[in-house]
Structure formats: structure tokens, C-alpha cells
Amino acid sequence: MSHNFAALVSEVNQDVLRWRRHIHANPELSFQEAKTADYIAEQLSAMAGVTLKRLTPNSVIAELTGDKNGPIYALRADIDALPIQEETDEEWRSTNPGVMHACGHDAHAAMLLGAVKVLSQCRSSLKGTVRFIFQHAEEAPPGGAQELVKLGVLDGVDMIFGLHVLPNYPTGQIALKEGVFSGSSDNFDILLKGRGGHGSMPHMCIDPVTIGAEMVTAMQQIVARKLDPLHAPVLTVAVFQAGEVYNVIPDTARLAGTLRTHSAEVRARVPLLVEQTVKGIAYAHGAEVEVKWTKGYAIGNNHPEACAIARRVIKQERGAEAFIEVTSAIYGSEDFSSYQEKIPGCFVFIGSGNESKGATHGVHHPRFKLDEDALAIGVQLHVGFIRQLLMAE
């Protein structure tokens, strides 16, 4: 049976807009997305042939199996929001103070819902199974993807695809980077213990502020002088907390920050160099130091086979002029990498920037807006991946 997929995608557009706006107006933080997951499950339950699983209370796994046996392919959308106070004037702006869908996960969920609705109407043509993953907690390590993988969400799955809206590209453009496309993300905490005292008598103290400042500078030398510049990571000290009074040298200081890298070898080596550096400085000044690392997301790696499929679908569905082959990886992290550690997968960026609609601010900004014309493109690509894999003659 042949299907008019363009018409089917067009027919679900109003539903996709409604779903996206509802989710945007009712954002929930990572690991707290129970109402969002319930809403998604409610929409899915009305779609023919779709079965549901709730591996966690704040995620939804849907499955659609065709009349013919075949492989299993997965499509993933994240559904959590960020701890940001929204500053837009949208009618559907957040009703939850201090929480906002500032990274487009509301759009991702709505686009995947649209794809489920389209594909459910074409179930008889499927030569296998589609698993739709509405994933919680992309924004907060250890991440929802890792949790779902441990619970078996990829069991039997051959390949996975994900989409992310990005205002860096105008609506209509679609970007893809083969191989490493995003960085790992590990965080560190350094507790420095000195000896406090009166600010007028620093010689009687072991000042954790000046020692900490020395550590911040020395840690940058790790990147500049101890690692191959062709594989240099980003090592950022983002927190420096010490003292509260003008004339009192505190007992302790806290440094904290993040490491981003595209190399597994560098990822393993930098924590050792950080510990060596800060312990050496602390020892030289008679201070004590404790270093704690929290491992975050893995390096994102788009597999060649999955990329080849994605390229073909993008050019077929949107035209060769819409496609951008990206040559440089970003240092931002994405827990889609947890799936890619297990099976081949491809993560694609959909342009959603539009100056005339005010969609110019980047993700994680309180005035982030989405050009909603990008929603139909996301649905079209999700459906296109499955047409290519499970419906091709």
C-alpha cells in the first residue's frame, strides 16, 4: 500500500503545535517529569497499534510493530526542562516559575509524537518495529539515557536516531557531523583547607583564597602546556567560593568546574594532572586539598552507517541545498551518547532560527524562542528515517 507521507505529515501539524505548546507551558525539571510523561502517554494511547511501557515514572517507551517481521529501530526525544525563569512573551510561556523549556525538548517530544501518529497510520507497511523513546533527564547527569539503557530500552534495537532543534542554523537547514560531534562532560569539586585569621595578619594564616587563585591559573597550564594542542580539552573553573567578611581570611575555599573533551585518552588523563597540580600547590603552602570528580556524559559519536542513512533521508526529504556537513565537533554534551556507546546511532541538528520571529537567542537562554516551522521538518525526518529502514521496497 502506498501512502502520501507529505499529506500525513501536514495533517498532524496542528496536533504537533498543540502538543509542543502544552509541554512548553508546563515544564518539569530533570528526574521530575512525571506529569509530562503522563501527558505524552495519554496522547500515544489514542494512536492505533501503539503499545506503551513505563520503564521509569518520568519517561515513556512506545512501540509500533508492522505486519511483517523485521529489525527494530529507535527514535529518541528528550522531555525535560531547565531551571531558568522564562523571559519571553509567548502566549504559551512557562506557567512553572523558575522552570523553562529553553533547549527545545518540548519541540523534540512533539515532533516524535507527530511521527508516531503518522507511522501508526502506515503500520501495515512496516517491515519490523519502531521503538519511540521519550526520555527524561537529558539535562542532569548521570542522565536519563544511561538509566534507560540499564533498564533494557535498547534490547534488540539495531540503530537509533535523534534530532535537536538549534537556532544557530536558520529554519530549513539541517546539520550533521559524522564521527565525534559532542564532548564528554565531567565535573570536579576541589575543597581547599587552609587556616583562617584576621585580614591584617596574613602571615599567621594559610590563605585558601590566594592558594586557590594559584590553582586556577596553574590548571590552565594543563591545557596549554601538558596536552597535545590538537586534542586540547576545555577545562573551566566556574565556581570559586571563599569567605564572607572583608577582613577575615577564611579557613576553606571551594573550586568547581567542568572538563569537556573529544578524546577518551585526554578524558582519562586530565583528572590525574589536575590532582597532581593542586596537591603540589597545596603542599607547597602547607594547605590540604581534596579533589572529587563526577563523571558525566560520554563523547557523542555519530556512526558512519547511521550517518549515511541520515544524509540520504535529509536530501530526499528536504533537498541537497538544505543539508550542512559539519566539520567541527562542539564541546557541549548530549546524553544521546549513552545510546551510541551500545549501538550505532546518528544525532542531527535542525535549524530553528528566524530573526523575523524573534528566534535568535541560543539554547539555555531565558529568551530562547523556537520557529515552530521547524516542527514539521522534524516530523518529516523522523518518518523519513523509518521509511528508509522499514518501508523501502
Binding residue positions for Mn(2+): 103, 105, 139, 164, 364
Q: What are phi and psi of 171, to 5 degrees?
A: -55, 135
Active site residue 283: no
Residues at the annotated binding site?
103, 105, 139, 164, 364
Asked if residue 285 lies in contact with residue 212, where contact means CB atoms within 8 angstroms, the answer is no
Q: From CA 336, how far away is CA 145, in angstroms rounded? A: 7
Which of 33, 297, 317, 339 is labelled catalytic? 297
User: The C-alpha cell of 182 is what?
Assistant: 559532542
Closest CA to 239 of 252, 259, 258: 258
- At 211 the three-state DSSP class reads helix
Closest CA to 183 of 308, 328, 342: 328
**Strand segments (E) across 234-358:** 234-241, 248-249, 252-261, 288-294, 300-302, 323-325, 345-353
Which residues have C-beta within 8 Å of that of residue 3, sequence separation ≥ 6?
A: 121, 122, 125
Closest CA to 317 of 373, 372, 382, 389: 382
Active site residue 341: no
Which residues have C-beta within 8 Å of that of residue 225, sequence separation ≥ 6?
A: none
The catalytic residue positions are 297, 372
